[in-house]
Amino acid sequence: LVRASSTGAGSSLLDPLDTFPRRHHGRMNDAEVAAMLEVLNVQSVDQLMNESIPAELRATQPLELPEGVSETQALAEVKALAAQNQVKESLIGMGYYGTVTPPVILRNIVENPNWYTPYTPYQAEISQGRMESLVNFQQMVSDLTGLPVANASLLDEGTAAAEAMAMAFSAGRGKKRDFFVDRNVWPQTLAVLETRAKPLGINIKIGDVSTFDFAGHSLFGGIYQYPDARGIACGNISHFVEATQASNGLAIVATDLLACSVLKPPGEFGADIVLGNSQRFGVPLGYGGPHAAFFAVRDKLARKMPGRLIGVTRDSAGKPAFRLTLQTREQHIRREKATSNICTAQALLANVAAMYAVYHGPAGLRSIASRVHAMAAAFAAGVAADGKATSVSVRDAETQAFFDTVLVRFDSPAEALASANAALAADINVRVVDDVTLGVAFDETCTEATLAALLPAFGSRLTPRDALAQAELDAIPQAALKRESKFLTHAVFNRFHTEHELLRYMNRLQSSDIGLQNSMIPLGSCTMKLNATAEMIPVTLPGISAIHPFAPLNQVPGYAALLKEFEAQLCAITGFSAFSLQPNSGAAGEYAGLYAIRAYHEARGETHRNVCLIPDSAHGTNPASAAMSGMKVVAIKTSATGEVDLEDAAAKIAKHGEKLGALMVTYPSTYGVFEAGIKELCAMVKEAGGRVYMDGANMNAQVGLMRPTDLGADVLHLNLHKTMTIPHGGGGPGMGPIGVVDDLVPFLPSHPLVDNGTDAESAIGPVASAPWSSASILPISYMYIRLMGSEGLTNATQRAILHANYMAARLEPEYKVLFSNEAGRVAHEFIVDLRPLTKATGVEAGDVAKRLQDFGFHAPTMSWPVAGTIMIEPTESETKEEMDRYIDSLLAIRSEIADIEAGRISIEDSPLRNAPHTADVVTASEWNRAYSREQAAFPLPWVRQRKFWPKVGRVDDVFGDRNLVCTCPPMEDYVEADE
Amino acid sequence: LVRASSTGAGSSLLDPLDTFPRRHHGRMNDAEVAAMLEVLNVQSVDQLMNESIPAELRATQPLELPEGVSETQALAEVKALAAQNQVKESLIGMGYYGTVTPPVILRNIVENPNWYTPYTPYQAEISQGRMESLVNFQQMVSDLTGLPVANASLLDEGTAAAEAMAMAFSAGRGKKRDFFVDRNVWPQTLAVLETRAKPLGINIKIGDVSTFDFAGHSLFGGIYQYPDARGIACGNISHFVEATQASNGLAIVATDLLACSVLKPPGEFGADIVLGNSQRFGVPLGYGGPHAAFFAVRDKLARKMPGRLIGVTRDSAGKPAFRLTLQTREQHIRREKATSNICTAQALLANVAAMYAVYHGPAGLRSIASRVHAMAAAFAAGVAADGKATSVSVRDAETQAFFDTVLVRFDSPAEALASANAALAADINVRVVDDVTLGVAFDETCTEATLAALLPAFGSRLTPRDALAQAELDAIPQAALKRESKFLTHAVFNRFHTEHELLRYMNRLQSSDIGLQNSMIPLGSCTMKLNATAEMIPVTLPGISAIHPFAPLNQVPGYAALLKEFEAQLCAITGFSAFSLQPNSGAAGEYAGLYAIRAYHEARGETHRNVCLIPDSAHGTNPASAAMSGMKVVAIKTSATGEVDLEDAAAKIAKHGEKLGALMVTYPSTYGVFEAGIKELCAMVKEAGGRVYMDGANMNAQVGLMRPTDLGADVLHLNLHKTMTIPHGGGGPGMGPIGVVDDLVPFLPSHPLVDNGTDAESAIGPVASAPWSSASILPISYMYIRLMGSEGLTNATQRAILHANYMAARLEPEYKVLFSNEAGRVAHEFIVDLRPLTKATGVEAGDVAKRLQDFGFHAPTMSWPVAGTIMIEPTESETKEEMDRYIDSLLAIRSEIADIEAGRISIEDSPLRNAPHTADVVTASEWNRAYSREQAAFPLPWVRQRKFWPKVGRVDDVFGDRNLVCTCPPMEDYVEADE
Ligand SMILES: Cc1ncc(COP(=O)(O)O)c(C=O)c1O
Ligand SMILES: Cc1ncc(COP(=O)(O)O)c(C=O)c1O
Ligand SMILES: O=C([O-])O
């Protein structure tokens, strides 16, 4: 009897066989690896690692993590943890509500790789499906908020509010510094605003809209919540909008989409910006996330809006096509002082929310809203009529309008506590507003049984139906606040209300898009690796997904244990002392981490240390984040060989002296090499009193082989959606936790409502609305590490580097690999320089990208970090067979370029410039191309069996072509301040 | 505030809104319904019902079922039921084993509508993906069993054994009547064989292979199990094969696929037929099913094999293509005395098992088998060395070989009980063989912890590793039984071992196939309605899926309650007194039901009542089932208007007099009309002493509107995979429970091992291996009924009839609707007669079917029940929009036919004859068709947005064209016996 699995010390025939690393990256000793090593002319993987990575940077010890466990065991463990969390009916509200994810959406979007694995839709022609859905999201937000332009999407409500504030600040050119915040916004929104305001020098003025002296302040804007934190939908919204605008500020309103289906929407009151969270449109609570925040503006503000915006354009055949319209974002982010760094957002959840609206339609949403309101009204009436509470504060004195939330005030803390406990005894969490006030927020999942339990808990003897009969439903909302305008009138919201129709609609959309379920997506810097099913399973377990972020900590021991263990895993991998799991994207991590460095300097009385050195090869989010944390960006040059110019660094350090705050550096560099000078660079900065922020986007090249702390990093964010297998979701969700060394721990983000273990005194405040923001996707990364274990993770890194070197070596004869080290080796990704070919033939990087679609492939990262190039990152999760197909496609394209070089065809007539080829084009009777239909559609023999037809022809979008990395523009736009 | 949901008495704003009927079939009062009524020129749905259904047949009362509950509530209820079942580690074995469904297969096949909604792959060109997978299944079975030809698939191991016996019987031309059964086959296999043998007049000879007097019997075959029920892999297999064949019988071996990866396979011993269950290849236990049985034969027996067989053929372009090869099945089923009625099988589960093999590959399977064996060996060694048991009976005296199962004999019942209880205390179920013998069957899910719990429970103090060290692994299996031959050497089993590769392979396959997620599939008699996600969710809950069929009944109160409630639901719908949930397909239900009628007559001393009257419009399974239950088929004619010819019926009844056993009739008839004479017909038969079997395939036209019992039915099977939303799975699973009136209850199928509530004395014995066979899919139908409720179910039926009438009316001007009632109305389906067009133009039904693929549609049922026609059943779950597209496609096709009629194009040159058009063809440089590329590929404007490209051109298959219904041939082949 043969034992086929790998053996190690103490291994036994009894060991489990469903081990994971071989499913993630294959076996280290197989024929494929041997064949790749042969091409690279090395004897072993170790030899290649030695040639790629400077010896002095290598970790001296294996990762201090247990060996990986089997898929079955890891799943059993995580299910046991999830089962420890108590799934209650959480009527805490505060922006997070129970909701029903229609099963057909749960299974066919949330749990479907066709939707969760694709990348941000930069390659428009093979991303039409999810862009159509995101346009639905935008339309829905626009309709419900009553404003003409909406994006898709922002991260969460708190950061959306902060983005709005920053946008208003910048619209006021930073001259006015006061920002009004109504005291009845969510407390977490206020706290996130306060964090964000500080480094920008904004003064937050908290007040009551009815008494605040608008004229007496120099306001650039203000924010008001409607319905507010007390549940009141207040007629004062008009006053707020008018008064704010009268002082030349932007009027920002945070709202609730469901409420907007029955209440007159903020846009109709003249608000400039309306934002909020679309969570209750079918997106599970997830202990805080992920959910898609929404953001809508008046027309004239469209170009200043942060976040991703999908637009309609035309393709090469003149037919309508969707595309990411980057213009507006570029405009705001490229400025010297960027006001937003948002990159990865919440596309998957925006799609869920949009599909929820498509499924329910306008009448359905109104029904849901009306029922939710009826519950609240019945509860209020029941308690008021008959309860023991002294006052039920639910109505605006003037309008008497409220929506889903009822606050109940008691005579004594003891009485309040008794009611809260009685609710808890019925497995219902209510909100503890203060020691004599409880809040109850009703939602779609509430039933008559909810009321039947709550009414007695609050001392009422009325039955739900009797209470409902006593409620003055018709008076609420009063005419003044009642929505009269139509919404969701587009056909898409009115056609797909049966499950078959919705299923088919989703299926049609997904078939237009390339995701990892189709083929490899070797996007440099994006690490499109396997998102394994076993990693995804925890996300939708009730114990993970159905938990309110402000649930009492004693209800969530499973989450506590998992988060603690996960933090320990990340510390073991990176060497840091602690991690904050709050930042909800890489860019959010950058901002939080740099801000922590700022806070550190400040705490030491060195507020002047505000210069941040950033190599000019850096990702666009880096300088933007620096600007947001109040730092001044100074670029360091990169040498001709792609290394950070240490001399230039030394000069800049010397020049800025005492003002040096931080170095921000990506490792291995965005040029795809392990630079030898990293330790020296970090040491120089520290010597001069600065701290080192390492951008962890490329951690997939480090894990197990080196540690950021050994290299000199003080802070680092991990893009969990790159290195740690959270799927990209078509543009999010992601998570960007930050690790810090000891003396920076006190500055990690806190939370105003939940004890997340930080020191609120020294902490920088929250950078997101929920304590661990998108908590429900953290188990994905946790599972990955648990499944892979020390050896598996290390092997994965080795294989990622092997794969990049293999692809580079096979392409090298025909293409120029831009940067490599002295041994000719690259890291886990590499840049192919197309500029010589462009010069010779006119073929641009975009032509290569579009032509790849005809082969069934997604392009590499385009023109970043070097314009006119493509950056290839195969990751460890691809087989040689798949990489060979990709290579063969690029080589076939190279020979098409050669045809142009040789004058056999002109660039305009070539299949490159005319790519991609749709079925419409290739099947048209008319064919007057200079190449055959077969060459157009099936340029290599195996393409026939795998043919993926781009849905539209080349999209007309010069902007898009130029900035295909994470919607964030190249660093070079910042290389100015210091020259 | 608006309340959009339907209101009724007592309805309240507090009622849940996630009601299901509108998701299943829409709203009854919407604009679509109004538009359809207008086309039909009726005022109301009621009026249409009155015109379609004879008044005297209508139910006088609404269904006695509760109203439908919300999706959330139904899911909560079923989850609570599932949670009541205790998920233990069940090491009971007996053909059912713990297994790990790789998560990537679970999510992307089992839980994916692309795989579970398609129909049996009769339309080859749009079913290439699942046929490729089924060929993998066949290849895997063939490789592992060591026989050249395998099918895909049979229902379960017991019925597969019965099919083998029947096949051997028929191979021996029914002359020899003795069939040897080794006493060590599974007891449930023996019991199913006994049930099946009786009506065929087969004498089962139970014996011990080593002592049985083969020469002394007139054997047509024999069956032996390897490894046997004691766990022994016995060298006697050679003797069995030789002795059976020496007596000119077929040697049948039941085996275990996993064991075959390490043991010399039965085929290599010369077995003629090898069968078994592929469950342990990744298919959840499911409390008995569904799982795919396998069946492999020697070359010369291929054409006699029952079940579906996929083969490779060529398409119109000469490229290889898969197709269902019906020839062999036809041959066996068309005979006067059919030996098999198998129609719906277990395609979905065959695909799961095949993918499991693709994922693990040969080395992986060997590793799993070796580990399972190591567990068993360690356990045996531990108990033998150190346990309290007196003997460990695990080895064949001669070969010393066993695989996964160990029997332990104790000195006393008390000791045995103590060990069983100790195991149970560790949450492990063992098998109770007899009062002093326990059995333990190890499986893939067992771990060292399993052994660590079991060894002490069996009195051993050895640790698992010490026990393993004592086991003589190398001696087992001994050389004589050790597998030396290679298997799974095809590339497909060796390429997709990473999760990415497997995911992409599955994704590529599914993209070749049309399922309900693409478009409507109006297959007459097949009822391809919505398979809602909420209905599917229970299937993979652990409390439903991870239960062994022979688990003690006290561990499964949730199942007990659900099955009881489900039976009550079915009784309420049909009017019967009881249901048997055992038959695992419609055909199995027919056989069981007819056999129950036979048993009834026999019990009354009327064994001579063996004539079964069947209208000549009946489905092919009907006469086949009658033959299998020992009845003589007598056909009744159908009149020119499609009605059963009552005069002919009367004549036949008179002619057969005392011999009249039963009438078997489908209602509404397979001609798609509610015949007025049904009550009279049934009454005539009963009058004459016969009983009425009603084929429930068309129950979708009755539910809520009439009851089979009111019409006169004594027995009826329900195809749950038609009427009750179990998805078709690409050809199975299904379930065919039978309902009976009071005096037939005693004859319902029993089970030898589990008390299923029947009277073993009078019962006909088991017709399947597990007590409720595919128990885990019953919750699908249960959920459907719970979600729809009385009104929802009734509305669905009304809408199914409305839809059929609407489509018929819209097609009528251009096509001839073959049968309708006096008011011109059809039932829930209708036949379109193409014969006049065929006569005029040469266009055949097959041309229309293939041309529909170019529009993105699956053809209706072809040439059944009337050759040269198509039968359309839209079901209630389609919108008018979708039906209109289908209608428009058929009308467009009609105008293409008109072009031929008018001489504008010849049939050979027409797009009809050349359909379907692949992308390869339409994009080829060469185009010399008489119509444009656009007409070929995009014959209507909306096709572009929804284009589905058939993967291959028309498959060369005359047989296939002829018999496109459920692989079962038309009744007309039986119209002989009586003439
Ligand atoms: C080098 C680098 N830094 C930062 C980011 C921003 O990360 P996120 O998109 O998670 O905000 C990216 C994203 O691609 C990146 O490549
Ligand atoms: C009228 C009729 N009877 C019986 C059957 C056989 O049912 P099953 O495929 O479930 O065995 C069918 C299947 O289509 C049918 O249409
Ligand atoms: O509102 C409806 O979903 O039909």
CA separation for the pair B355, A756 (Å, rounded)? 45
Q: Compute how many other C-beta atoms are within 10 angstroms of the C-beta atom of residue A483.
A: 20
Rounded Cα distance between A179 and A219, Å, is: 5
- Looking at the partner chain, which of A4, A364, A445 has a beta carbon nearest the beta carbon of B364? A4
Question: pLDDT, tens digit, for every residue of B923-945?
Answer: 999 999 999 999 999 999 999 99
What are the chain B neighbours of A448 within 8 Å (beta carbons)?
12, 14-15
Contacts for B147 with CB less than 8 Å, ≥ 6 apart = B266, B267, B271, B273, B274, B296, B297, B298
Contact A919 B947 (CB under 8 A): yes
B183 near A CB under 8 A: no
The answer to whether A3 contacts B367, with C-beta atoms less than 8 Å apart, is: yes
**The overall pTM is greater than 0.80:** yes
Instruction: Encode pLDDT of A331-387 as tens digits.
Output: 344 534 677 899 999 999 999 999 999 999 999 999 999 999 999 999 988 998 876
Looking at the complex, report in whole angstroms how far the Cα of residue A12 sits from the nearest Cα belonging to chain B.
8
CA distance to A917, B76, B187, B423, B756, per residue, from B753 (Å) = 63, 32, 8, 21, 9
For residue B646, how many C-alpha atoms fall within 13 Å in the half-sphere facing its CB? Answer: 10
Ligand 3 atom closest to the Cα of residue B4 is 1
C-alpha–C-alpha distance, residues A953 and A322, integer Å: 11
pLDDT at B322 over 80: yes
Least confidently predicted of A339-343, B169-173, B326-330, B874-878: B326-330
Nearest to B831 by CA among B863, B776, B793, B872: B872
Q: Is there a contact between A107 and B533 if contact means CB atoms under 8 Å apart?
A: yes
Query: Pick from B201, B160, B159: which is nearest to B179 by CA?
Result: B201
Reply yes or no on whether the pLDDT at A967 is more than 50. Answer: no
CA distance A891 to B930: 39
Quote the CA–CA distance of A494 and A362 in Å, as a whole number.
Answer: 8
Give dist(CA B96, CA A772) in Å, integer.
44
| Most B-contacting residue of A14, A366, A938 (CB-CB within 10 A), to test interface | A14
pLDDT tens, B99-120?
999 999 999 999 999 999 999 9
The owner of tokens 């001579």 is B608
Lowest-pLDDT choice from A517-521, A930-934, B616-620: B616-620
Q: A951 with A121: CB under 8 angstroms?
A: no
Q: Which two tokens stand for residue B57?
A: 């047949």
Q: What is the DSSP string of B58-84?
A: S-SS--SSPBPPPHHHHHHHHHHHHHH
DSSP B264-310: PPGGGGT-SEEEEE-TTTT---GGG----EEEEE-GGGGGG--S--E
Alpha carbon distance A969, A327 (integer Å): 11
Test site for ligand 3: of A104, A355, A360, most ligand atoms within 8 A of the Cβ: A360
Which among A346, A347, A514, A348 is positioned nearest to A859, based on CA atoms?
A514
Q: Examine the pLDDT at A706 and tell me if it is beyond 90.
A: yes
Whether residues A498 and B1 touch (CB distance < 8 A) is answered with: no
What pLDDT does residue A320 have?
A: 85
Question: How far is it, in rounded angstroms, from Cα B493 to Cα B364?
Answer: 10
Identify the pLDDT of residue A337: 62
> What pLDDT, on the 0 to 100 scale, is given for residue B979?
39
Q: How far is the CA of B50 from the centre of ligand 3 (A)?
A: 28
Backbone angles phi, psi at A388, to 5 degrees: -90, -10
User: At B858, which amino acid appears?
Assistant: H
- B507 contacts A507 by C-beta, under 8 angstroms: no
Percent of chain B whose pLDDT exceeds 90: 86
Give the least confident one: A5-19, A566-580, B662-676: A5-19
pLDDT digits (tens, 9 = 90+) for A575-621: 999 999 999 999 999 999 999 999 999 999 999 999 999 999 899 89
> Is there a contact between A879 and B102 if contact means CB atoms under 8 Å apart?
no
pLDDT tens-digit profile of B746-805? Answer: 999 999 999 999 998 999 999 999 999 999 999 999 999 999 999 999 999 999 999 999
Q: How far is A611 from chain B (nearest CA, A)?
A: 44
CB A849 within 8 A of CB A123: yes
Cβ pair A497:B468 closer than 8 A? no
- The region of weakest confidence among A334-343, A636-645, A666-675, B587-596 is A334-343
Q: State the pLDDT at residue B326.
A: 58
- Per CB-CB distance under 8 Å, the chain B contacts of A108 are 113, 533
Question: Is the pLDDT assigned to residue A4 strictly greater than 60?
Answer: no
Q: How many residues does chain A have?
A: 979
pLDDT in tens, B480-505: 788 999 999 999 999 999 999 999 99
Q: Does A378 touch chain B (CB under 8 A)?
A: yes
The pLDDT value recorded for residue A2 is 30
**For A794-846, how does the pLDDT look when each residue is reduced to its tens digit (9 = 90+)?**
999 999 999 999 999 999 999 999 999 999 999 999 999 999 999 999 999 99
In contact, B249 and B60? CB cutoff 8 Å: no
Q: Where are the beta strands (DSSP E) in B161-270?
A: 178-182, 203-207, 219-226, 250-255
pLDDT confidence tier of residue A978, bands split at 50, 70 and 90: very low
Give the amino acid at A140: M
Ligand 3 nearest-atom number relative to CA A367:
1
By the 8 A CB rule, do A120 and A728 touch? yes
Model confidence band, residue B594 (pLDDT cutoffs 50, 70, 90): very high
Check CB contact under 8 Å for B501 and A882.
yes
- Rounded Cα gap, residues A44 and B26, in angstroms: 63
- What was the pLDDT predicted at B960? 37
- Give one DSSP letter per residue of A52-68, joined into a string: HS-GGGS-SS--SSPBP
Whole-number pLDDT of residue B337? 62
- Residue B533: band (very low, low, confident or very high) from pLDDT cuts 50, 70, 90: very high
What is the token pair recorded at B871?
């039968």
Contact between A829 and A866 under an 8 Å Cβ cutoff? The reply is: no
- The strand pair at B178-182 and B219-226 is best described as parallel
- Helix (H) or strand (E) holding A715, with range, is strand A715-717
Average pLDDT, stretch B623-638?
Answer: 94
Spatial distance between the Cα atoms of B221 and B808, rounded to a whole number of angstroms: 52
For chain A, the average pLDDT equals 92
Residue of A3, A13, A117, A487 to mutate, testing the B interface (most B Cβ within 10 Å of its Cβ): A13
Which residues, numbered 338 to 367 in chain B, qualify as contacts with chain A under a Cβ-Cβ cut-off of 8 Å? 363-364, 366-367
Interface of B with A in 785-844 (CB under 8 A): none
- Which residues are CB-contacts of A419 (< 8 A; sequence separation ≥ 6)? A388, A389, A408, A410, A430, A438, A457, A458, A459
3-state secondary structure of A110: helix
Confidence class of residue B444 from pLDDT cuts 50, 70 and 90?
very high
Q: How many CB atoms lie within 10 A of CB B13?
A: 23
Report the pLDDT value the prediction gives residue A89, as an integer from 0 to 100: 98
Q: What is the pLDDT of residues A169-225, one digit of tens each?
A: 999 988 999 999 999 999 999 999 999 999 999 999 999 999 999 999 999 999 999
Share of chain A above pLDDT 90, in %: 85
Task: Quote the pLDDT of residue A975.
Answer: 43
Q: Which atom of ligand 1 is nearest to the CA of A586?
A: 10
Please provide the DSSP assignment of A405-450 as one string. Answer: EEEEE-SSHHHHHHHHHHHHHTTEEEEEEETTEEEEE--TT--HHH
> In this prediction, what percent of chain B has a pLDDT beyond 70?
93
Q: Once rounded to an integer, what is the mean pLDDT over residues A219-235?
A: 91
**What's chain B's average pLDDT?**
92
The more confidently predicted of residues A978 and B273 is B273
At residue A9, the pLDDT reads 44
Which pLDDT belongs to residue B968?
32
Ligand 2 centroid to Cα of residue B788, in Å, is 24
In tens, the pLDDT along B1-48 reads: 333 333 344 678 999 999 999 999 999 988 999 999 999 999 999 999
Q: Average pLDDT in the A855-861 region?
A: 97
Pocket around ligand 2: residues whose beta carbon is below 6 Å from it? B 343-344, 525-526, 585-587, 619, 621, 666, 670, 695, 697, 719, 734, 736, 966
CA separation, residue B634 to residues A366, B606, B614 (Å):
61, 18, 6
What are the chain B neighbours of A498 within 8 Å (beta carbons)? 22-26, 530, 877, 879
| Mean predicted confidence (pLDDT) in A769-786 | 98
**Ligand 3 center–CA A364 separation, angstroms:** 5
What's the confidence (pLDDT) of residue A474? 52
* Residue B186 scores a pLDDT above 70: yes
pLDDT of residue A1: 33
Which of A14, A23, A945 is closest, CB to CB, to B375?
A14
φ and ψ at A377, to 5 degrees?
-65, -40
Q: pLDDT value at position B695?
A: 97
A344 touches A159 (CB < 8 A)? no
Question: Which ligand sits closest to the CA of B701?
Answer: 2
> How many CB pairs below 8 A link A and B?
260
User: ipTM of this model?
Assistant: 0.96
Answer whether B879 touches A (CB < 8 Å). Answer: yes
B802-833: per-residue pLDDT in tens? 999 999 999 999 999 999 999 999 999 999 99
Residues in chain B, total: 979
Under 8 Å between Cβ of B89 and B99: no
Report the candidate in A94, A134, A111 with the shortest Cα–Cα distance to residue A285: A94
Query: Who's near A357: CB < 8 A, 6+ residues apart?
Result: A136, A140, A281, A365, A488, A493
**CA B825/CA B47 separation, integer angstroms:** 11
pLDDT score of A6 more than 70: no
| Ligand 1 pocket, Cβ-based, cut-off 6 angstroms | A 343-344, 525-526, 585-587, 619, 621, 666, 670, 695, 697, 719, 734, 736, 966
CB B946 within 8 A of CB B938: no
pLDDT of residue B973: 46
> What pLDDT sits at residue B964?
28
CA of B281, closest CA in chain A: separation in Å?
13
pLDDT for the residue A974: 43
Q: With an 8 Å Cβ cutoff, is B260 touching chain A?
A: no
| C-alpha torsion A72→A74→A75→A81, nearest 10 | 140
CB B295 within 8 A of CB B275: yes
The share of chain A scoring above pLDDT 70, in percent, equals 93
Token pair for A512: 């237009």
Which of A732-741, B2-11, B436-445 has the weakest average pLDDT? Answer: B2-11
List CB contacts (< 8 A) between A101 and chain B: none
Residue A495 in contact with partner chain B when CB distance is under 8 A: yes
Q: What is the pLDDT of residue B833?
A: 97
A898's tokens: 């050669």
d(CA A488, CA A493) in angstroms, rounded, equals 6
Using the 8-state DSSP alphabet, how is residue B110 labeled? I
Q: What is the mean pLDDT of residues B286-299?
A: 96
Q: What digits encode the pLDDT tens for the residues B85-99?
A: 999 999 999 999 999
A131 token code pair: 């862009």
Q: Can the peptide bond before residue A290 be classed as cis, meaning omega within 30 degrees of 0? A: yes
- From chain B, the residues in CB contact with A16 under 8 A are 447
